[in-house]
Chains A and B, each alone.
Chain A
Amino acid sequence: MLEEAECLALHEVIAQEEAVLDTMRKLQTEHEAKHQLLAEKAMLLERTIDSTEIFREVGSQLCTHFMPLLVQLETQLAVQEDDRAILATHLPSTLDFIHSWEVLKDEISALDASLKRQLDRTQERITTMIQQLKSTLALHDQMSSTISSFSSMIGFAQSSIKAKKGGILHPIRRLPVVILRHIFEDCVNDETNECHRNPPSIFRVAPTMALRLASVCSRWRDIMLETPYLWRHIRLRAPTLWSSPEARNHVQSYLDRCRGGEIELTIPTGDRLPDDLIPDTITVERLNLAADIDEWPILPSPVHL
């Protein structure tokens, strides 16, 4: 038992010594770290000392360099002191000048204010005049357009007068009726002969010359209507319409103007013509019959004449 107790005591001692040993080891480690830190600082200090030496050398070089400049500056300062003494002798006249300058400045200010007022008034007048000018320009534009429209009206009236004068004085107006009738006959016959020379044209072209001549003026219309021979062409539409009132009116309108004279009848073939469509008393000088004509031109009725 005793030995065990001793053994335990020894173990405790050993444990205490090991703890002390650990503590010692930690302290040693800390000391070593501090030592290391101190060594680094010492190194930094050495480098600082080296830099300081360099700065010192540079400083001495700069002193050497700037010393002549300093001397020069002192010399210039002395010169400026002399100048300041000279200026001090002229100072009273400068003060007078400044005073007069300030007086002049006040007068300029007063003049400036006066000019500004005048400028404001002038500005107001300019604004008023601009407004008047704008209204005048608008009036001018209005007048110009009015003048332009009047000019065109005058031009139109002049051309109309000229045309009417030319029409009134045209030699054709002085032609006797007999000669005009001959001319109309030639026109109508030319159209007809051209068609007769090339037979398909009889069917494909409606002879409208008589209608056109009669539509020119009242005098020509009267001459045309008094010349039955010129209304001898009658064209009928499709056979299915022959019995219609329109076809009868159409034929009758030409027969009326033809006044019983010979006619030229152009018809597409088809049903038998109504017996009473062309009265027995009318001589059909020319009869034109056709089939298979693509487009059958229609001759307008002269009812309106």
Chain B
Amino acid sequence: MRDYRLPSDLINRTTHLTVWNVEISFPGDCESLTRLEMCGVQPAIVFTQMISQSPNLTDFDLIRAEMQDAPLLEPVSFTHFHLRYLGLSPGWIELLESALRSGLHLSQLRHLELSNITSEYMATKYPLISTRLGATVVRLDFQGEDCSIDATRSFIDALRRVNTIGFYGRVTETALGALHEVRTYRVRIPGQDTIRCTREIVHAMPKGLEVVIIRDYEGEGLEVDQQLRMMRQNPAADTQPVTIVFENCLNILPRIRREFAVPGPLIESVDPPLGPGQSNSDPGT
């Protein structure tokens, strides 16, 4: 990785900056920069450094950035008034928590995007992200190659004002389970020739969720069709029906695309909605 000090006459004329495997530094505050995308290997210091030196930054994308060193952080105590979008890969979440602890305020942050949220990144480990960002973030996106349903759900529950959730690419099929998951148990009753089926809602639809965005999903939709139907048929009691939006999903079957084009519940007989902890037993043979 190369250290590159951007000339002030150039960076002061730049609004969007994308860097790849380059450790950049600014000669002073950069008023013009509104979007910063950092990829490849990056030192931890850039996180607070870039935020503090870019007062007009609205989008800060570290989704494809891998942290080079341990997340040691200088004390920062300031409020950023323009940052609306923050994209983080797992390594940077702890750094964000530390920055929030040391006094960073992101008062305008509305959109948080996380990638590769595996089970070791449960939101309960980051209380300040839940409390501080939970008050402002209304959109939460997940992407990457791998994700944990429980960890994903923990962030959905922690950021209580989220009304739009996006799933990008390969995590879609797995992460949809974080919105609505029903498990069915089949138990043979002793002494009888019957099997008792029990359905239990593990994850109910989050309250306040209005839109689910599926983007860059390469499947035809058959794998998620049933899950999306259930999600739309079982919204939380006090919320509007969920709108499903497909973005840049070229392979989605037209039938499925049409079906979810109109928001609202399907005109089909559905099971009565079940709340968390409730179960529905259905004897069968």
Contacts and interface: CB of A to CB of B under 8 A. Distances in A.
A285 B4 contact: no
B9 to A, nearest CB: 6
A251 to B, nearest CB: 13
Contacts of A282: 13
B15 A272 contact: no
Contact of B10 (A200, A284, A291, A292): A284
B15 A289 contact: no
B20 A291 contact: yes
A289 B20 contact: yes
A97 to B, nearest CB: 109
B14 interface: yes
A288 B6 CA distance: 11
A3 interface: no
B39 interface: yes
B17 interface: yes
A291 B1 contact: yes
Contacts of A290: 19-22
In this complex, the interface size class of chain A, counting residues with CB under 8 Å from chain B, is: 20 to 34
A292 B14 contact: no
Contact of B14 (A203, A269, A287): A287
A289 to B, nearest CB: 5
Contacts of A199: 18, 20, 37, 39, 64
A287 B17 CA distance: 5
A200 B21 CA distance: 10
Contact of B19 (A196, A272, A273, A289): A289
Nearest to B5: A272
Interface in B1-50: 1-2, 4, 6-7, 9-11, 13-22, 24, 37, 39-40
A278 B7 CA distance: 12
Q: Which residue, of B10, B17, B22, has the highest number of chain A Cβ atoms within 10 A? A: B10
Contacts of B15: 283-286
Contacts of B64: 199
Interface residues of B, number: 23
A285 B14 contact: yes
A83 interface: no
Interface in A253-305: 269, 272-273, 275, 278, 280, 282-293
Interface string B55-81: 000000000100000000000000000
Contacts of A273: 7, 10
B7 to A, nearest CB: 6
Contacts of B21: 290-292
A293 B64 CA distance: 16
A176 to B, nearest CB: 30
Interface string A192-220: 00001001101100000000000000000
Contacts of A269: 2, 4, 22
Contacts of B11: 287
Contact of A287 (B1, B2, B18, B40): B18
Nearest to A293: B20
Nearest to A280: B9
Nearest to B35: A286
Nearest to A262: B15
Given A273-B7, A291-B1, A286 B14 contact: yes
A202 to B, nearest CB: 6
Contact of B22 (A196, A202, A291): A291
Given A199-B39, A273-B10, A275-B9, A289 B22 contact: yes
B16 A287 contact: yes
What are the 5 closest A-B residue pairs judged by CB atoms, nearest first? A290-B20, A286-B16, A287-B14, A269-B4, A291-B2
Given A196-B18, A203-B20, 17 more contacts: A199-B18, A199-B20, A199-B37, A269-B22, A275-B7, A280-B13, A284-B13, A286-B14, A286-B17, A286-B18, A288-B17, A288-B19, A289-B20, A289-B22, A289-B24, A290-B22, A292-B1
8 contacts: A199-B39, A273-B7, A286-B18, A287-B6, A289-B17, A289-B24, A291-B4, A291-B21
